[in-house]
């Protein structure tokens, strides 16, 4: 049975700063949420989240403290936020306030809570090359690259800091959470900026491999079709047609080159070279060709039923794979290993709600990035070998 890397639970401080500017002298009308990495470095002995911080949107001003949290953070019931304000777990400028308190601009709002971080599969983040300015690793599937959503420490950046004492790290490119393969991280800001300039100038060649359904056609296949990402649905769609027509295309221009490497008559291994970098570009362009990634339930069919409380990818993976046998060893899941918070809406479960399902990585793997004077590669995964 696959093990899961799960974060210990501890009281943490989510600090929300309702400022009156965005750092460049402009008014607060242009404010946006900005996530920062955890203030405390991850270490093996203390793998918890602490001190996440972001700026508050201007629309929060004028709401009561309870209504603000109930409307903006729907993961907990209204009564929880009432109790949290009354007992001081939610504070304004470091002080307790009544439940009727109205939030003003330029205030710091702190929420002290019991954080449950989603589990990830416990595959190693293997270091491929370690240079003075660059680190390359083989990213396992299911692990996000950097803190996002509910993930803080269960990330490639966090794991590398905790297990290899490698920090700071600046991801040069992104891989979807369920995608595996080569990940390049700069070890200083100037090197990261150099990579960014080369990518934006189109000087970097990116190569992935995918295992798709069917016998993919021979010869290079070029898909030059716009992609429109729907954030609420968590998926992209290909838009074909004339951008000058009566109905203008909403998506962004996207182009991917595909070349078949091998096939066994049921599946094909395809080399994928994205020219642009849109969300789920390779996945949706393969779907557009009629040869979707063979275990990508999000794009195997046109419509996917989402499970409540789960992301689209998580729902897709859960619906496609049977859960593993339940272990009789309670050491990985027993609530005896961590403290129980009587006010926590997730306790006594270790994983947060909606993350109890089993999942596997996509058959999509980054194998090579090359630019002016440099090339980095990653070994092929086991699924890239087709049985006849």
What secondary structure, in 3-state letters, does 248-269 show?
CCCCECCEEEEEEEEECCCEEE
Sequence-ordered list of residues with C-beta below 8 angstroms from that of 54, at least 6 positions apart, any chain: 16, 17, 33, 34, 35, 36
| Annotated catalytic residue, options 176, 224, 296, 341 | 176
Q: What is the pLDDT of residues 95-117, one digit of tens each?
A: 999 999 999 887 888 888 777 77
Q: What is the pLDDT of residues 267-292, one digit of tens each?
A: 999 999 999 999 999 999 999 999 99
What is the C-alpha to C-alpha distance for residues 210 and 286, in angstroms, rounded to an integer? 9
Q: Is 46 a catalytic residue?
A: no
What is the C-alpha to C-alpha distance for residues 289 and 223, in angstroms, rounded to an integer? 8
What is the C-alpha to C-alpha distance for residues 84 and 81, in angstroms, rounded to an integer? 5
Residue of 143, 87, 97 lying closest to 120 (CA atoms):
143
What is the C-alpha to C-alpha distance for residues 371 and 374, in angstroms, rounded to an integer? 5
Instruction: Tell me what pLDDT residue 308 has.
Output: 32
Instruction: Tell me what pLDDT residue 338 has.
Output: 63
Mean pLDDT of the chain: 77
Q: In the chain, count of helices (H) and strands (E)?
A: 7, 18
Task: Give phi and psi for 141, each to the nearest 5.
Answer: -70, 160
Mean pLDDT computed over 298-304: 68
Lowest-confidence region among 10-24, 172-186, 352-366: 10-24
């Amino acid at each position: 049975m696959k093990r899961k890397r799960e974060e210990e639970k501890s009281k943490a401080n989510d600090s929300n700063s309702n400022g009156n500017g965005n750092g460049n002298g402009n008014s607060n009308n242009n404010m946006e949420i900005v996530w920062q990495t955890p203030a405390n470095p991850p270490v093996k002995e203390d793998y918890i989240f602490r001190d996440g911080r972001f700026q508050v949107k201007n629309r929060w001003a004028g709401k009561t403290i309870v209504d603000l949290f109930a409307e903006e953070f729907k993961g907990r019931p209204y009564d929880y936020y009432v109790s949290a304000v009354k007992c001081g777990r939610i504070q304004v400028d470091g002080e307790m306030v009544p439940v009727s308190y109205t939030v003003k601009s330029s205030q710091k709002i702190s929420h002290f809570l019991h954080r449950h971080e989603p589990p990830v599969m416990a595959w190693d983040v293997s270091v491929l090359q370690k240079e003075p300015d660059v680190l390359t690793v083989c990213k396992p599937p299911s692990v996000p690259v950097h803190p996002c959503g509910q993930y803080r420490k269960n990330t490639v950046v966090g794991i590398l800091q905790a297990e290899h004492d490698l920090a700071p790290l600046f991801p040069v490119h992104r891989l979807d959470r369920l995608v595996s393969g080569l990940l390049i991280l700069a070890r200083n800001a100037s090197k990261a900026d150099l990579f960014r300039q080369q990518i934006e100038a189109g000087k970097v060649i990116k190569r992935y491999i995918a295992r798709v359904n069917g016998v993919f056609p021979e010869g290079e296949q070029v898909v030059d079709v716009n992609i429109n990402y729907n954030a609420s649905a968590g998926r992209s769609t290909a838009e074909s047609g004339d951008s000058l027509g009566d109905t203008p295309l909403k998506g962004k221009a996207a182009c991917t080159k595909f070349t078949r490497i091998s096939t066994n008559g049921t599946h094909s291994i395809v080399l994928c070279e994205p020219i642009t970098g849109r969300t789920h570009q390779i996945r949706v362009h393969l779907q557009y060709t009629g040869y979707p990634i063979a275990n990508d339930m999000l794009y195997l069919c046109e419509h996917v039923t989402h499970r409540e409380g789960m992301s689209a990818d998580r729902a897709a993976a859960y619906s496609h794979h049977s859960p593993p046998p339940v272990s009789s060893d309670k050491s990985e899941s027993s609530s005896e290993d961590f403290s129980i918070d009587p006010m926590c809406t997730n306790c006594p479960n270790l994983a947060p709600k909606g993350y109890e399902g089993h999942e596997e990585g996509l058959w999509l793997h980054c194998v090579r990035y090359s630019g002016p004077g440099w090339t980095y590669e990653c070994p092929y995964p086991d699924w890239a070998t087709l049985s006849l």
